[in-house]
Amino acid sequence: MADQATGLNVIGKPYPKKDARIKVTGECKFAADLVVPGMLHGKMLRSPHAHARILGIDTSRAERLPGVKAVITGKDFPGITYGNFIHTRDYLPLALDRVRYIGEEVAAVAAIDEDMAYEGLDLIEVEYEPLRAVFGPEEAMKEGAPLLYDDKPNNISSKSEWAFGDVEKGFEASYLIKEETFETQAIKHGMLETHTCIGYWDATDRITLEACKQSPYTAWRQLAMGLGVPPSKIRMKQTFVGAGNSGGKQEALPMDFAAVMLSKKTGRPVKISHTMEEVLLMGHMRHPYKIRLKLGVDKEGLIQALDCFAIADGGAHSSIGQLSIYLISAFMMMAYKIPNARYRGYRVYTNKSFCGALRGHCAPQINFALEGLMDEIAQELGMDPLDIRKRNAMTPGYEAPNGFKITTCGLREALDKAREMSGWDEKRGKLPKYRGIGVASTGFISGSNIMGMSACSAMLKVLEDGTVALQSGATDVGQGCDTVLPMIVAEVLGIEPDDVSFALIDSDLTPMDGGTWSSRVTFYAGNAAKMAALDAKRQLGRVAAEVFDVKEEDLIFKHRQVSVKNDPEQSMDFARLVRYCQNRKGMTIMGRGYYNAPVGNLDFSKGTGNFSAAYSYYAQVCEVEVDPETGLVDICNMWMAHDGGRELNPMLVRGQLIGSTVMHVGQALFEQLIRDEKGNTFNTSFRDYKMPTFKDIPGSQELFSLEIPDPEGPFGAKEAGEGASAPVLASIANAVSDAVGTRFRRLPIIPEEVLKAIKGKSR
């Protein structure tokens, strides 16, 4: 039945994911499951040095090994760097003259099986000249530090510097000024599916890459760039993705280049799969940040000025770092009204595996710092931490000094709801010893226009039986666009989501798209799918209006029927109308739609521009209990109220909110990459790299959606899910600080640090 309040039949209902059944039954074929005739197996040779010059590579012994069909090095490629932004392109398919971190790829082998490929790797001889390495960003910025790239002084790969308002006057007008430094660590995506691809370079010089990519067209473009061939020569086919966590499978990797080049040499398809050790050893990972914040407020707790200095350890390559260093400043300005602000951010090269995007992309790091400092200021003012946030919260219609234009905004309402759900007033300052409660709030974007292929497009074909084949360039990495986009189409055409199929990306067939990043898919691809459905509906409506002899606006598309308003006797099955169009009119009904948000372009270096067409908001309260004997932190309860616009599929939204929360419990309390002073990574297996398990899930999670429809979003939707990652670190840290009585400004909050704090307080 239709929702009486909205008139919607499909939107707002909890449809299960379309691929759920084949995934739980094991029928789903991931990239590692694929086998093609004549396929060879490839393996990558990696550098044992953090920084070294390559003096020579001898592949002759490997080439003579029976079963080895080809060996390649960096010299087999044209030597063209590739990457996301023109001025930061520093990737090479394989290292040419220098390696910059332990694990960097220097050669590859294709053989009849994996064991033979490994044997071939053992026979490749590489002569290195070790160079002085640098592992800390502050050390790397010093004069005289070894440079990773000769054209990057002080090893600065990207920077963003800006100021809005009058910061010094803002601090002069402040009643209380607080300045502290916060540090976050490097973590990995932790996806269960490792990177896998199959490359084929055929006799017509056409290249096909089949791979588990979350942004296939990004990889498609980068592959063309690094190979020096036109994109039209490349066919990118997406497989089902076993999680990507916003960034881990976004770009082209050396394995992709190696697979197609080995195929060119052998004339056979080549499959390369990373081991989990390789995934944990190499990039991508979350940027570790050192953030110094200075915050000034008046007697009422209203923010007068904010100054932020941030240094990011970017590792050996730029990846998407120009965006990353800007994002700290963007998310700093997203939740609260800050009239005067200054930001200086530097992303620095070091001889470690490189950093890129990861779910929440820099929002959790700055939120950890800003929300911690807000708590400290509230404490010194004698204010309720929740109240100080509400006083400074964004409101609808506000335009921030950096250009963010807030449309719908329910942050104050979310804070009120979080207070109510958690019993905040009954618990704050009244909990037993070693039990604490903390709050954090945040804003997040609903997609952004930041680089090439920011727009989304969709095409659909209405088939004779009344079903619809939807093609979008959007990628499902578990978030549910394979279900939500068909729901949008079904709502427009008056059919059911099961009537709409969703195709995996094939660059020869599906429309171009930026992929899954920046929480853009529902907002951007959803609007494109809606427009494509409306296009098809108009074509069908013209014919139906002719058949019924009525105006098009008098038609109703619902319940797989097309009928005349106020005259239900005049109706026909949706499928029958489609057949009439095809058989009587010779029409094939195909809809087309595209969407790009009306926000203009951002200037990363100056920090100006409207980031998104709509902003979502979250308020989270966390309650913890600390064991004074072991220092272990138990998350007892979490409450989250969020403004994500209208929920298109409440069940999938809930899954995303819970997933974001649980994932970031790890970064808050125990997850980190452990390296020695030479750059070796110690925890390169899931046995040693600790991630949240079922036992670490909060004892109780209560979620509430404000359901404030946004006029720009498809059927009123905004971002819902990725933004939920942003307040988790801060709410946990604030709760642990409340329980122990000591502020924690460095992550993860491991038991040893908790015990030190407890013992320090007891002395």
Query: In which residue ranges of the chain is CATH 3.30.365.10 found?
Result: 357-368+380-449+611-762, 455-595
Q: Could you read off the pLDDT of 251-274 as tens digits, one per residue?
A: 999 999 999 999 999 999 999 999
What does the block give as tokens for 296? 């000034």
Question: What digits encode the pLDDT tens for the residues 466-510?
Answer: 999 999 988 888 888 999 999 999 999 999 999 999 999 999 999
CA dihedral 738, 743, 747, 749 (to 10 degrees): -50
Pick the CATH number of 455-595 from 3.20.20.140, 3.40.50.720, 3.30.365.10, 3.30.390.50: 3.30.365.10
- pLDDT attached to residue 451: 61
Take residue 423 and report the two structure tokens written for it: 């019993």
Asked whether 351 and 679 are in contact (CB, 8 A), the reply is yes
Q: Can you read off the two tokens belonging to residue 703?
A: 């979620």
Query: How are strands ordered across the β-sheet holding 40-46?
Result: 68-73, 105-111, 40-46, 270-273, 196-201, 207-211, 234-238
State percent of the chain over pLDDT 90: 87
- Are the C-beta atoms of 513 and 473 separated by less than 8 Å? yes
What is the pLDDT averaged over residues 145-152? 97
**Distance separating the N- and C-terminal Cα atoms of the chain:** 65
Structure confidence at residue 763 as a pLDDT band (50, 70, 90): very low
Report CA-CA distances (Å) from 32 to 135, 239, 315: 34, 10, 28
pTM greater than the 0.85 cutoff: yes
Residue that is written with structure tokens 């592992």 in the block: 135
Compute the distance between CA of residue 494 and CA of residue 612 in angstroms, rounded to an integer: 30
Q: Count of CB atoms within 10 A of residue 416's CB?
A: 17
Question: Residues of CATH 3.90.1170.50 domain(s) within the chain?
Answer: 31-131+195-273
DSSP character at residue 743: -
DSSP 551: -
Residue 310 confidence (pLDDT) above 90: yes
Query: Nearest CA to 510 among 596, 578, 592, 595?
Result: 592
> What distance in Å separates the CA atoms of residue 12 and residue 4, rounded to the nearest whole number?
12
| Weakest-pLDDT range from 1-15, 278-292, 365-379, 404-418 | 1-15
> Does residue 555 have a pLDDT over 70?
yes
CA–CA distance, 557 with 324 (Å, rounded to integer): 45
Taking the C-alpha atoms of residue 588 and residue 606, their distance in angstroms, rounded to an integer, is 49
Give pLDDT tens digits for 222-240: 999 999 999 999 999 999 9
Write out the DSSP string of 244-300: -TTTTTSS--HHHHHHHHHHHHHSS-EEEE--HHHHHHSS--PPPEEEEEEEEE-TT
DSSP string covering 71-99: EEEGGGS----B-SSGGG--B-SS-SSEE
Higher-confidence position of 700 and 537: 537
- How far apart are alpha carbons 259 and 272 in whole angstroms? 7
Structure tokens, 77: 């490629």
Q: What span, in angstroms and rounded, lies between the C-alpha atoms of 509 and 235?
A: 10
Task: Note the residue count of the chain.
Answer: 763
Residue 192 confidence (pLDDT): 87
Q: What is the C-alpha separation between 512 and 421, in angstroms, rounded?
A: 43
Q: Which two tokens stand for residue 749?
A: 């909050």
What CATH number does the domain located at 31-131+195-273 have?
Answer: 3.90.1170.50
Closest CA to 533 of 483, 459, 457: 459
Query: In the numeric block, which tokens belong to residue 50?
Result: 């953090």
Q: Give the pLDDT band of residue 2 (cuts 50, 70, 90).
A: low
The CA distance from 406 to 615, in Å, is: 7
201: how many CB neighbours lie within 10 A of its CB? 26
Average pLDDT, the chain: 94
Q: Which of 27-31, 190-194, 324-328, 600-604 is predicted least confidently?
A: 600-604
Which pairs count as long-range contacts for 571-579, CB under 8 Å and 24+ apart, including other chains? 572/544, 572/547, 573/466, 574/466, 574/493, 574/494, 574/495, 575/464, 575/465, 575/466, 576/466, 577/540, 577/543, 577/544, 577/547, 578/462, 578/463, 578/464, 578/465, 578/466, 578/540, 579/464
Distance CA 395, CA 544 (A): 45
pLDDT value of position 512: 87
Residue 654 contacts residue 702 (beta carbons within 8 Å): no
- Cα-flanking dihedrals φ and ψ of residue 589, to 5°? -85, 110
pLDDT at 3 over 90: no
* pLDDT tens column, 90-118: 999 999 999 999 999 999 999 999 999 99
Give, in words, the CATH class of 357-368+380-449+611-762: alpha beta
Structure tokens at 723: 């933004």
pLDDT digits (tens, 9 = 90+) for 601-649: 778 778 888 999 999 999 999 999 999 999 999 999 999 999 999 999 9
3-state secondary structure 61-72: HHHHCCCEEEEE
DSSP string, 402-424: TS-B--S--HHHHHHHHHHHHTH
The answer to whether 724 touches 660, Cβ cutoff 8 Å, is yes
For the segment 70-91, the average pLDDT, to the nearest whole number, is 93
| Per-residue confidence band for 454, with pLDDT thresholds at 50, 70 and 90 | confident
Q: To 10 degrees, the CA torsion angle through 252, 255, 257, 259?
A: -130
